[in-house]
Structure 1
Amino acid sequence: MAAMTETRTPGPGDGGAAYVLDRAGLDALVAALRARGRTVVGPTARDGAIVLAELESAGELPYGWGVELEAGHYRLVRRADGAAFAHSAGPQSWKNFLLPQRVRQWTADREPDGRLTVRAERHDPASYAFLGVRPCDLRAIAVQDRVLLGGRHRDDAYSARRTGAFLIVVECTEPGATCFCVSMGTGPATGPGYDIAMTEVLDEAGHRFLARAGTAEGAEVLAEVPRRPADAATRAAASGSVAAAADRMGRTMPPVSLKALMAGSLAAERWDDVAARCLTCGNCTMACPTCFCTTSEDTSDLTGDHAERWSRWDSCYDLDFSHLHGGPVRASSRSRYRQWLTHKLGTWYDQFGSSGCVGCGRCIVWCPVGIDITEEAHALHQEALARGAAPEETP
């Protein structure tokens, strides 16, 4: 499993060992991973969107497809070229595989003699290979690792899926209109934590992928596929494409400490404005690659002799999420949106040492009324400036 470290990972333009794969090499890469017994999951065009699904071959990748994004808007569009990874984050994230929406925790059965037998669910280790992980989503996986693998409250089901997962990151060269990973420090170039990193290059010299290993297993897999040493022109094209993507981000966050901004904006008038638009549907939390909240629900059969406990995704927008004796703590849409935003951008630092936002823009795209997290942060910043209480700008 590729794990997050503090060491710097070489980028596409660095002088470290790198190779060039063509489309046949990408096919061989998928075949090599499947031959190792791994379930390869990657993007494919299906049902009018780029979705994550099991791949039997690299031919199922969305060659020639891109996306058109805006607040509350997503469209799959044809591209003039045959790029496989020239699309932004889709409706799913890798959370759908590492932290599925519904997981059984235990079963209980009443035996004929009246005794009750409780069996904890066994979570067998999975053997995933994720192909096409974006740098922002790589950071999101690291965030969920910190939440679900660290501390006293380890999630065994998550651990079984995450341990041994093989991560192939594809650096972003086509940011969407709702992307703001540069503001969050999560892309478009990749950080540490991958097994293989690739940058897609498509120019007059052909369609190819600059690849480099981040782990020993990544190097072993690359050694099994047709490849050639990276040439200077491919390195330069890859580095230039990633740098250009950083300059084409569709959104930004205000250049201040977001943690300080959130802490100083609890009584801001802007919360009333967003509350008038928010449906508290929870779409943003379902699409977010780092939201991790779950609840437990118990079920039984009609005889009462068999019962099960399941864990399923929950949302802080749910009225019952903060329910205590006497009623919910956060009864208004104002308080629930404020809880989500201030936790994601502010108090997440206090709990986990980082932001809970990676700048993927999914919450903007999949909000049915088009509420934009970056617009709200800028509005809060402007309101703080107007009252002379804005935090200092970040360097």
Structure 2
Amino acid sequence: MTGDHTTAVIGKDGLETLIRVLATRGRTVIGPTVRDGAIVLAEISGGDDLPYGWGVELEAGHYRLRPREDGAAFAHSAGPQSWKTYLHPQREREWTADRGADGVLTVTEDAAPPPSYAFLGVRPCDLRAIAVQDRVLTGGPHTDSRYRARRERAFLVAVECTEPGATCFCTSMGTGPAVDGGYDLALTEVVDGSGHRFWARAGSDEGESVLAELPRQPADGATAAVAREQVAAAADRMGRTMPEVDLQMLMRETLDAERWNDVASRCLTCGNCTMACPTCFCTSAEDVTDLTGDHAERWRRWESCFDLEFSHLPGGPVRASGRSRYRQWATHKLGIWYDQFGSSGCVGCGRCIVWCPVGIDITEEAHALNDERGNLPREAGGASQGEAPS
């Protein structure tokens, strides 16, 4: 990626052309669309597939579509899926093994060419989540080659947020509502008395090449100003906040807090939060075989730290209680992630709040821990990076 190149204004016809141009370039275009009572990510073939005129009503454990009078396409908050569904699939086969008639075992690695995706409608929080997964899965000595191949072929069309949801807190995490690089094209949707249009900026050479093929007008100051004002206003309308403290230190200093018992009494340890989270990356290997024993496969699938077997050892699970498992997730996401990867593992999208069946709210828990911290003994939570005994 390079810095911003061309800026322009495109209309709904330009968005339609954008989808067609990306498809013509051999890319599978993935974007938001309405299905099964939600705005979900799926392959789209034209502008009519986009959720024009739909918004969402969000709260802890609550998600509903609602119609919008302005006909906006991207005035909705993050849905149940994130882009990791495509870059880091929930389940994929790694290899097969077959025993021939001569008894020789042949192992064949799955080496299908990676898809060439174009992601349309990437929110700023999700753009940051992709950057986080880039660091986790390709930034160290043990690179996930499958992820890297998909990521290198992906074209990202970011859309700035002008309509935050009641569970959004990206401002607290420094991840939105404006985009800050990392995209090929960036759009800001504007619907006002002057019409329905998108302020478009190229962020890479390929993005500039694609933008050049769209019906467009030179970027005018009025549209750019309205776009900036709407994004700035969105920053002041976040539905949630994190406490304005060092979250890494907060996690370290509250390992023995009573609040963990409170949340454990509500948590079902179902793992929904980890499945919906755009940055959670844990996987496990699953080996399967046919009845003859002559054919076997290894599959990689998402795993959750809420699973009792996630930390299983011969002596039993490391984290046997729901308290310890929720604490592991929260302290890793908000604290230890900094030590491992240099940033928070939370981007403030709010998915874990919405898709928790009992409505546990990570921002509420962080505020409660911060409130309790002042009453804890000085030695409490003294462990630096690990966990206190459960």
Instruction: Output the TM-score relative to the length of structure 2.
Output: 0.95
Q: 2:269 matched to 1:314?
A: no
Q: 2:371 matched to 1:354?
A: no
SS of 1:341's equivalent? Answer: helix
**Residue 304 of structure 1: aligned partner:** 293
Equivalent of residue 33 in structure 2, options 44, 63, 71: 44
RMSD between aligned residues: 1.4
Amino acid at match of 1:26: L
Equivalent of residue 228 in structure 1, options 217, 221, 235: 217
Amino acid at match of 2:358: V
Equivalent of residue 67 in structure 1, options 38, 46, 56: 56
Amino acid at match of 1:54: E
Q: 2:258 matched to 1:269?
A: yes
Shift of the 309–370 alpha-carbon distance from structure 1 to 2, 3 Å rule, reads same
Equivalent of residue 128 in structure 1, options 117, 130, 138: 117
TM-aligned CA deviation for residue 388 of structure 1: 7.7
Q: 2:44 matched to 1:55?
A: yes
Equivalent of residue 12 in structure 2, options 18, 23, 30: 23
**Residue 155 of structure 2: aligned partner:** 166
Deviations 1:11-69 (A, max 9, x none): xxxxx741000000111111111110100000001110000000101121000000000
Q: Is the 8 A contact 2:14 2:214 kept in 1?
A: yes
**Residue 385 of structure 1: aligned partner:** 374
Cα distance in 1 for residues equivalent to 2:256 and 2:78 = 33
Equivalent of residue 294 in structure 1, options 259, 283, 289: 283
Q: Is the 8 A contact 1:123 1:157 kept in 2?
A: no
Q: Is the 8 A contact 1:271 1:334 kept in 2?
A: yes
**Residue 135 of structure 2: aligned partner:** 146
Deviations 1:109-128 (A, max 9, x none): 00110011011110412210
Equivalent of residue 229 in structure 2, options 240, 244, 263: 240
Cα distance in 2 for residues equivalent to 1:164 and 1:58 = 23
Q: Is the 8 A contact 1:275 1:334 kept in 2?
A: yes
TM-aligned CA deviation for residue 150 of structure 1: 1.7
Q: Is the 8 A contact 1:125 1:163 kept in 2?
A: no
Cα distance in 2 for residues equivalent to 1:18 and 1:152 = 38
Deviations 1:206-242 (A, max 9, x none): 0000000000000000000100111111011100000
SS of 2:307's equivalent? Answer: coil
Cα distance in 1 for residues equivalent to 2:377 and 2:128 = 34
SS of 1:251's equivalent? Answer: coil
Superposed, 1:363-382 pairs within 5 Å as 363-382=352-371
SS of 1:386's equivalent? Answer: coil
Superposed, 1:176-255 pairs within 5 Å as 176-255=165-244
Cα distance in 2 for residues equivalent to 1:217 and 1:193 = 13
Cα distance in 2 for residues equivalent to 1:386 and 1:176 = 33
TM-aligned CA deviation for residue 93 of structure 1: 0.3
Equivalent of residue 81 in structure 1, options 70, 91, 97: 70
Q: Percent identity?
A: 72
Q: Is the 8 A contact 2:169 2:241 kept in 1?
A: yes
Q: Is the 8 A contact 1:135 1:187 kept in 2?
A: yes
SS of 2:365's equivalent? Answer: helix
**Residue 144 of structure 2: aligned partner:** 155
Q: Is the 8 A contact 1:123 1:156 kept in 2?
A: no
**Residue 13 of structure 1: aligned partner:** none
TM-aligned CA deviation for residue 131 of structure 1: 0.2
Instruction: Output the TM-score relative to the length of structure 1.
Output: 0.94
Cα distance in 2 for residues equivalent to 1:352 and 1:236 = 36
Amino acid at match of 1:286: M
TM-aligned CA deviation for residue 385 of structure 1: 2.3
**Residue 93 of structure 2: aligned partner:** 104
Q: Is the 8 A contact 1:126 1:162 kept in 2?
A: no
TM-aligned CA deviation for residue 186 of structure 1: 0.2
Equivalent of residue 103 in structure 2, options 94, 114, 132: 114
